[in-house]
Structure 1
Amino acid sequence: MSKHSENPTRGTRTARTAAATLVLATTLAGCGFVNTGGGDGSDGGTNGTSGTVTAYVNTEQSAGLAPLVEAFEQETGSTVDVSSATTDELNQQLRVQLTSGTAADLIRVSPGSSSPVAAGVLGRADELADLSDAGWVAELSEDTRSLAEVEGEVVAFPVSRNAIVMAYNREVFERAGVEVPTTWSELLTACEQLSAAGVTPISTPFQGGIYLQFWVYALAATLVYAENPEIDAQMAAGETSFVSDARWNETFARIAQLNDAGYFSDGMLGIPPDQGLQSVATGESAMVLLVSAGLPQLYGYAEGGEEAFDVFALPANEDASSTHVAIAPDFLAVNAEAENPEGARAFLDFLARPENVEAYADEMGVLPGLAVDAELSSDALEPIMPMFDSGRTAGYANYLWPNGDVQQTMLQSGQEWLDGTIDTPALLEQMDAEYARGTS
């Protein structure tokens, strides 16, 4: 397998697996090893750990953390009591728990300011502990740090990262003689060839708008954020807006171009995600834009499994070398009122060890949360790794919007926009109105 570093200055990813991590941790524990280095995590130490650490995470994090919790408990003799819920349920309950003083020591928080329980929102309300002195902070990629940091303080730890990728059915591409596109014009040509072959070029399960947002964030990574990294600060200062910024207009124009050309699914506003994925698995459609965490679900619909598909980064312009990938970190944070803050920090330091960063990513089929040397057993995301190696990534656009209402307006009014009820300026003006409310 070819090797890539998450950071071009970090060298290559070293071969380890989740199983090897458990063997290592168990061996260390059997030898009576407990690191007695600095508690700031600069050496991955777990000193000072005792008692019980409580954690409230979503169901996905719970599955990935389970083997590492066991290894941590074996090494330190402490206990990690993990409770979990779906992300929606967790977000609803966590706000109540923080208000009532019953929240766990470690909590799952959203990136940026994307929800009432996002790192930015809770950090500004002083509800999260400052983790800036942790050793792993040096391993935060620039785009992840911008979402984990509030007023100069790092308040969240990324257990993993997801990327928005275009997954395609290899057999469908081969039958139609389609090459993987690397520029926008090549994508249009591929769609034309697929359409001529009697295949829906792009599956668009836009029921509810959730998959529409993937298109906005993926295109904006290249068209907006790669071109103007200061766009969020400028919008917050009132210097520009969605409707007045040419880059944002171009982002939505690209989506409209594909829609107007007939390259999206018929009846797309009524197609749910599972049906959209199934259409790609059966070859009815050729490709689908999705979050990398959704790839296992796609694989499950095809007899060939993972081997039936491949991925590429969605191009947005004519310069293939400028294509950026939209990414989303998945965060854990320490409750500012934690009963065992030292234990909670020690567990994060343990998760930050390179072999454990890798183990979690391997277990979940996601990208490492920290920019450390890591090699994953699956090469499903290998085609986009050059973007990560060269730093061509950007966080989801909505994470630094002032509230979640901007995103909801985009999703809801975006349905009207896709069916032609409203035009692009009207959609962007509605988003601007919600943005202004969030900054007032």
Structure 2
Amino acid sequence: MTIDARSRVRRTATATLAATLTTALTACGFVNTDDSSTEDGSDDGGTVTAYVNTEQNAGLAPLVEAYQEETGTTVDISSANTDELNQQLRVQLTSGTAADLIRVSPGNSSPVAAGVLGREGELADLTDAAWTADLSDDTRALAEVDGQVLAFPVSRNAIVMAYNKQVFADAGLEVPTTWSELVAACQALADAGVTPIAAPFQGGIYFQFWVYALAATLVYPENPDIDEQLAAGETTLATNAAWGEVFARIAELRDAGFLSEGMLGLPPDQGLQSVATGESAMVLLVSAGLPQLHGYSDQGAEAFDVFALPASDDAASTHVPVAPDFLAVNGAAEDPDAALAFLEFLAQPENVEAYANEMGVLPGLDVGVSLDSATLDPIEPLLAEGRSVGYANYLWPNGDVQQTMLQSGQEWLDGAIETADLLTQMDAEYARGQS
């Protein structure tokens, strides 16, 4: 896949985007989860330690087994939910107890994001690895810091609109490819007594998906340098017309009554269930959350399909937001060569494919793999055409800008503040992050 050059100026963070996956483990130090390791950790091929989140652990497990059998190297993995990992990893890096391989977030969103750790010198330079030639442009922008590749993408996720196929069929609707068609479809659904779009905005997590999806089409194709301009103080979110249009689109749907009633108190699981039951027709979510949606229907995945959210009346301008999930090598790894060798193993096309199919995600590297599931088929042409960008908060200077958007966004959705107020608050946090 060739990803549009606009992505090269952007890094983001969305550790929160895995919030729809509920598996959580705790880890206080390194807990060996591999049954084939010896008690003393010794092995002729050495040992690689890794600290990953629970989602990565699930995808890596079968590959770890194969790697150990092939090489005689022990891969000693510890895992935790993403929030706990982020809290512990910074302490481990500071104390010198961090694993050889670590899960890092993209961009600047947390103290353990690739951009932050990379600038602090905490991550090993992976630039000479052969697999770096297979990074898509949007992923490369997030894996690089000052021209050095510092992170390996085990997978990617996209923000997509999922819809109940039976509800669409009953309303005689085709998939909308423009904003006007989306609004017309919403009106037809509302006339049929169906909530057009489930909006489980409690806590703001699902609200941010709308911001990123609309910005992917409205902001970055028109001005691929906007993140550089924001960082240089040449423009602001509040004064940028395209950013204002992002929120105007959401407000249009809100004011027309096309979003869930009581959306600010609606939790994600209830929103997804409403689409599964046909009470609502659509929901915008990160693709990692699709299995949860599918699980609420007796028909499973067959009950749903997806499309890229249009934001303008030019169907060819629609872009899809994509986010990588990263592993990095600790700059102070006890056995960096063994860590690099394991990444080379993961980068083999058959292993990229195996991980993607195990987890139902997009492949991390552009190596022409085949996916067993057809769930994301509708968005793959956009990726192949380079119509993808990173999530909009990738290059924001810290996670506080995003948190302000989530928190004050609740007030904005409720009509308590205007768009200019929300964006001005975000600008203030942006400025603080630059200082």
What is the TM-score normalised by the length of structure 2?
Answer: 0.90
Q: Does 1:439 align with 2:424?
A: no
Q: Distance in 2 between matches of 1:115 and 1:144?
A: 18
Of 290, 307, 310, which residue of structure 2 is paired with 1:315? Answer: 310
Letter in 2 for 1:372: V
User: Which residue number corresponds to residue 235 of structure 2?
Assistant: 240
Q: Alignment RMSD, CA only?
A: 0.9
Q: Matches of residues 69-108 of structure 1 in structure 2 within 5 Å? A: 69-108=64-103
Letter in 2 for 1:310: D
Q: Does 1:338 align with 2:333?
A: yes
Q: Secondary structure at the match of 2:252?
A: helix
CA contact (8 A) 1:104 1:335 kept: yes
Q: Distance in 1 between matches of 2:129 and 2:256?
A: 51
Q: Distance in 2 between matches of 1:400 and 1:134?
A: 25
User: Which residue number corresponds to residue 8 of structure 2?
Assistant: none
CA contact (8 A) 1:53 1:105 kept: yes
The structure 1 segments of at least 4 consecutive aligned residues displaced by more than 3 Å after TM superposition are: none
Q: Secondary structure at the match of 1:277?
A: helix
Of 362, 369, 388, which residue of structure 1 is paired with 2:364? Answer: 369
Q: Does 1:218 align with 2:234?
A: no
Q: After TM superposition, give the deviation of residue 50 of structure 1 in Å.
A: 3.2
Q: After TM superposition, give the deviation of residue 229 of structure 1 in Å.
A: 1.3
CA contact (8 A) 2:2 2:137 kept: no
CA contact (8 A) 1:219 1:315 kept: yes
CA-to-aligned-CA distance 1:46-98 (integer Å, 9 cap, x gap)? xxx93100000000000000011111111111010000000000000001100
User: Which residue number corresponds to residue 402 of structure 2?
Assistant: 407
Of 379, 383, 386, which residue of structure 1 is paired with 2:378? Answer: 383
Q: Does 1:66 align with 2:46?
A: no
Q: After TM superposition, give the deviation of residue 172 of structure 1 in Å.
A: 0.3
Letter in 1 for 2:342: F
- 5+ residue gaps, structure 1, are 1-5, 9-48
CA-to-aligned-CA distance 1:8-50 (integer Å, 9 cap, x gap)? 9xxxxxxxxxxxxxxxxxxxxxxxxxxxxxxxxxxxxxxxx93
Q: After TM superposition, give the deviation of residue 227 of structure 1 in Å.
A: 1.5
Letter in 2 for 1:206: F
Give percent identity, aligned residues only: 76
Q: Does 1:181 align with 2:176?
A: yes
Letter in 1 for 2:294: Y
Q: Distance in 1 between matches of 2:152 and 2:379?
A: 23
Q: Does 1:153 align with 2:110?
A: no
Number of positions where the alignment pairs a residue of Structure 1 with one of Structure 2: 395
Of 53, 57, 70, which residue of structure 1 is paired with 2:48? Answer: 53
User: Which residue number corresponds to residue 13 of structure 1?
Assistant: none
Letter in 1 for 2:207: L
Q: Secondary structure at the match of 1:225?
A: coil
Q: Distance in 2 between matches of 1:197 and 1:178?
A: 12
User: Which residue number corresponds to residue 418 of structure 1?
Assistant: 413
Q: After TM superposition, give the deviation of residue 7 of structure 1 in Å.
A: 4.1
Q: Secondary structure at the match of 1:232?
A: helix
What is the TM-score normalised by the length of structure 1?
Answer: 0.89
User: Which residue number corresponds to residue 27 of structure 2?
Assistant: none
Q: Does 1:294 align with 2:289?
A: yes
Q: Distance in 2 between matches of 1:391 and 1:155?
A: 23
Q: Distance in 1 between matches of 2:347 and 2:107?
A: 21
Q: Secondary structure at the match of 2:158?
A: strand
